[in-house]
Amino acid sequence: MVVSASGKIDAMTAPAFESSLTDLIDKGRLKLVLDLGGVEYISSAGLRVILASAKALKGKNGKMLLAGPRGPVKEVFDISGFGSVFDIYGSVETAVKAEG
């Protein structure tokens, strides 16, 4: 399932982002492609949500792939070292293919 996020993921919006992802996981959606193409800003609060969701999925034999981070968001991923923890794909299409 492809989940698209957009706008700003900061300390104020991160809790709503987290509950959306938690809802999906609770409903049994265990293979997620998180489309970050529409995200213009993310801080460490947003990274923590992605990490927590990925850990929750791992515990249920699920998986989350990240797709299409742009500009400043890509830079945040690079500088955080997130790139070595997650599979990050250039586009949703390549992520979906990789998910199989």
Partner 1 sequence: MTLSPLTIKLSSSLDRLKDVMAFVETSAGQAGVPPEKISGLCLAVEEAFVNICSYALKGGRGEVALAGFPGTETFVLEIRDTGPEFNPLSVPEPDLTIPFEERPIGGLGVHFIRNFTDRVDWHRENNWNVLRLTVKIHDGKVSS
The residues of the shown chain that bind partner 1, judged by CB under 8 A, are 10-12, 41, 43-45, 47, 51, 55, 71-72, 75-76, 79-82, 84-85
Nearest-angstrom CA–CA distance, 51 and 45: 10
Q: How far is the CB of 10 from partner 1 (least distance, A)?
A: 6
Identity of the residue, 55 or 60, whose beta carbon is nearer to partner 1 in the bound complex: 55
CA distances (Å), origin 33, targets 11, 12, 48, 100:
22, 23, 17, 11
Identity of the residue, 46 or 68, whose beta carbon is nearer to partner 1 in the bound complex: 46
